[in-house]
Amino acid sequence: MTTARPQYQPVGRCIYCGSKLNLSNEHIIPYALDGLDVLPKSSCRRCSEVTSKIEGKLTQQMWGQFRAALNSKSRTKKWTPETPHKVSVIQEGVRRTEIVPTRNVPAVLIMPVLPMPAIITGKQVTDYTTKNFVINTHQLEDWQKQHVLVGAFDLEIFCRSLAKIAHAYLCAQIGVDNFKPVLPPAILGEIGALHFVGSPPEDAAPLPSGEDVRHVMAVVDLSGDVSYVGVLMRLFSNFGAPEFLVVGGNRN
Ligand SMILES: [Zn+2]
């Protein structure tokens, strides 16, 4: 099935720092996560270097094993079912590395369990848990089933990645001149990103999920003491992954 991709107008300035020099096209969702939609002329070279580093940590360090198992796109690597892949396991309390062919790599997607974003609730998040979504358990060999699978999860990298995706999506969907953004300093690492990321309110209409739907996003307006515009986001919805809310700023 092919779906028509939305065509966005070139922005003409960096959506992160405002620079008008050396602008390149920006993938809203990283290409390495199969994101195809592009916001033309919207990121300067300096900010591209910053966002590329975050995306690298997310898609290679945190979700590399998961993507290998899914055979996701990558500009630099092609996996075949026989490509050797490192898998970390804990056996009797000792962490060690096993080398397995990609066809046997368990797809473990790690997602945090978070309350609503602190910018809305006023309550800083001091503790959180993670949930593992193990996709292809039928492919696991016996030794893998017996051990805990270890994935390196970094909450700040996760939140900065979601902030970057949400900000780019808001710029594409509602236009850079139509809201006062709060996320660029978090994306660029000047302030923490967790403040803006969390679970949606309980009364929010859930985003669709299903086997064919990989990534789903929607712009949402939140009214309260302060009105915000944000993005509801469900990456890998086809694997039952949870929905997140990223607060992006205030509408003009
Ligand atoms: Zn920039």
For residue 102, is pLDDT > 80?
no
CA of 50 to the centre of ligand 1 (A): 9
pLDDT digits (tens, 9 = 90+) for 10-69: 999 999 999 999 999 999 999 888 888 999 999 999 999 999 999 999 988 888 777 776
Q: Which two structure tokens, joined as six digits, stand for 238?
A: 């086809």
Q: Are 119 and 112 in contact (CB under 8 A)?
A: no
Whole-number Å distance, alpha carbon 56 to ligand 1 midpoint, is 18
Span 188-216, pLDDT tens digits? 999 999 999 999 998 888 888 777 778 99
pLDDT at 87: 72
CB of 77 closer than 8 Å to CB of 98:
no
User: How far does residue 20's CA lie from ligand 1's centre (Å)?
Assistant: 8
Compute the distance from residue 125 Cα to the ligand 1 centre, in Å: 29
pTM comes to 0.86
Which residues contact residue 247 at a Cβ distance below 8 angstroms, ignoring those fewer than 6 apart? 117, 119, 120, 182, 196, 197, 222, 228, 229, 230
- Better-predicted residue by pLDDT, 110 or 72: 110
Q: From the CA of 184, how far away is ligand 1's center (Å)?
A: 9
Spatial contact of 41 and 11, defined as CB atoms under 8 Å apart: yes
Q: What is the average pLDDT across 94-115? A: 79
Position 3 confidence tier, pLDDT thresholds 50, 70, 90: low
Q: What is the mean pLDDT of the chain?
A: 86
| Of 116, 120, 89, residue with least CA distance to 229 | 120
Cα of 49 from ligand 1 centre, angstroms: 9
pLDDT-derived band at 74 (thresholds 50, 70, 90) equals low
> Who wins on pLDDT, 231 or 237?
231
In percent, how much of the chain has pLDDT > 90? 54
What is the Å distance from ligand 1's center to 13 Cα? 8
Going by pLDDT thresholds of 50, 70 and 90, the confidence category of residue 1 is: very low
Q: How far is the CA of 97 from the centre of ligand 1 (A)?
A: 39
pLDDT given at position 230: 97
Number of neighbouring beta carbons within 10 Å of residue 170: 26
Reported as a pLDDT band with limits 50, 70 and 90, residue 90 is low
Tell the burial category of 143 from Cβ atoms under 10 Å away from its Cβ (0-12, 13-18, 19+): exposed
- Could you tell me if 96 and 178 are in contact, meaning their C-beta atoms sit under 8 angstroms apart? no
Distance from C-alpha of 238 to C-alpha of 212, rounded to nearest angstrom: 6
Quote the ligand 1 centre to 79 CA distance (angstroms). Answer: 33
